[in-house]
Structure 1
Amino acid sequence: MIKRPRVLSVSGVSGGGKTTTIKHLIHRLDHAQALYFDDYEFENCPDICDWVEEGADYNAWVLSPLITDIQLLLKDQSLDYIVLDYPFAYLNDAVRNFIDLAFYIDTPLDIAMARRILRNEQKHAMHELQSDLKNYLARGRAAYLEMVKTVKTNSDVIIQGDLPTDLIVDRMIEELQKSAV
């Protein structure tokens, strides 16, 4: 019998702690590899704000490069886990069937925004930060709320995002152990 790695999806809003959590998680799991959504260039991607305003069709995202990498890793019998830093949980039809367990890190929007500001403060001048905040208030917040409304409710496990990273990872590992039985 051929062993297949379990595919875990970790979703949440931008600044919600996905990447940090996944880096800690893959160090705690044996034989795990992560794929990060932000590392990919997807052709014909919609503008996130326009996409939300037009109804947030999750299948409008053509995720071929990510899917190709998932398929390649699924053939690697040395892996036990593939962890996706991936914003859509089960909502994109092309990725849905690969996912075995979808986590949602439920981070309050004020904390997520503060993290984004701190993460980007060294890269951007004050006028760029002001522009980002104005865009968030004018249009971007709707994208965050879309995630909370649809991705959160389509995830298997919701974890409080204002917990310390080690506790979030502990909870994920507990859920993995429960679901493996």
Structure 2
Amino acid sequence: MSAEVIAISGVTAGGKTTLVNQLVKEFPSACAFYFDHYEFENAPDMKDILNKPADYFNAYRLDRMINNLKEAQDKYDYIFLDYPIGYENKQMGMYIDKVIYIKTPLDITFARYLLRDFANSSGNDILKWAKCYLEEARPLFITHEDIVSKHADYIMDGTLEAEEKIAKIKQLLT
């Protein structure tokens, strides 16, 4: 039997990793792969998403991640991917059975990102990031969300509590 591959997608600090970690605990025969755990040679410049989104998403060479997924395919019932780009990368898209897009308001993702990545930073560093967020990151996140969520099988409210998200996903998968 081949595992069902579920991609949990969304923008940075949208709750993907937390949800995938919880799903692996909730589903007895499951494993997870995390996009951020892989190094990609020639990763595309994030700004390319604004001008050439298809080129941006398909610039990622995901061979290692796909090979790991194939090796796990017959060992589990579910494989959860912490994978921000859903079906958009053609190389990986063919292996995904469902994409669940976590739609988290950008003010929440901004605050989470600050708490996670700037906990020990100076006020000046935080202000630099806030400026960068407004001028560069936010437009990228909006474009990312518009494209990736459009093709998702299910859009989940990112403000729901963890238990509610798990319950909804269990309903979707069983």
TM-score bucket (shorter structure):
over 0.9
The equivalent of 1:6 in structure 2 is: 4
CA distance in 1, matches of 2:10, 2:51: 21
1:31 maps to 29
Among 125, 128, 132, the residue aligned to 1:128: 125
1:72 aligns with 2:108: no
Q: Secondary structure at the match of 2:88?
A: coil
* TM-score normalised to structure 1 length: 0.90
2:40 to 39, 42, 55: 42
Q: CA deviation at 1:127?
A: 2.2
Residue in 2 aligned with 1:94? 91
Q: Aligned-residue CA RMSD in angstroms?
A: 1.2
SS at match of 1:116: helix
Aligned-pair CA distance for 1:73: 1.3
Distance across 2 between alignment mates of 1:61 and 1:123: 31
Question: Could you tell me which residue of structure 2 aligns to residue 60 of structure 1?
Answer: 59
Change beyond 3 A, Cα 1:44–1:28: same
Once the two structures are superposed, what CA deviation does each residue of 1:4-59 show, in whole Å capped at 9, x if it has no partner?
011000001111111111111111112111101111100000121x2223322211
**Is it true that 1:167 corresponds to 2:164 in the alignment?**
yes
2:144 to 144, 147, 152: 147
Matches within 5 A, 1:110-129: 110-129=107-126
| Counterpart residue identity of residue 17, structure 1 | G
How much identity, in percent, do the aligned residues show?
34
Instruction: Give the TM-score taking structure 2 as reference length.
Output: 0.94
Q: Measure the CA separation in 2 of the matches of 1:134 and 1:43.
A: 28
- Unaligned 5+ segments in structure 2 are none
- The question of whether the paired residues in 1 share the 8 Å contact of 2:49 and 2:144 is answered with no
Instruction: Figure out how many residues of one structure are paired with residues of the other and give that number.
Output: 172
Mark the CA change 1:125 to 1:64 in structure 2 (over 3 Å): closer, same or farther: farther
Structure 1 unmatched ranges of 5 or more: none
Conserved 8 A contact 2:50-2:143: no
Q: Is the 8 A contact 1:32 1:79 kept in 2?
A: yes
Give the secondary-structure state (helix, strand or coil) at the position aligned to 1:90. helix
Q: Which moved more, 1:118-127 or 1:3-12?
A: 118-127
Given the alignment of the two structures, is residue 85 of structure 1 paired with residue 82 of structure 2, yes or no? yes
What is the alpha-carbon distance in structure 2 between the residues aligned to residue 138 and residue 33 of structure 1?
37
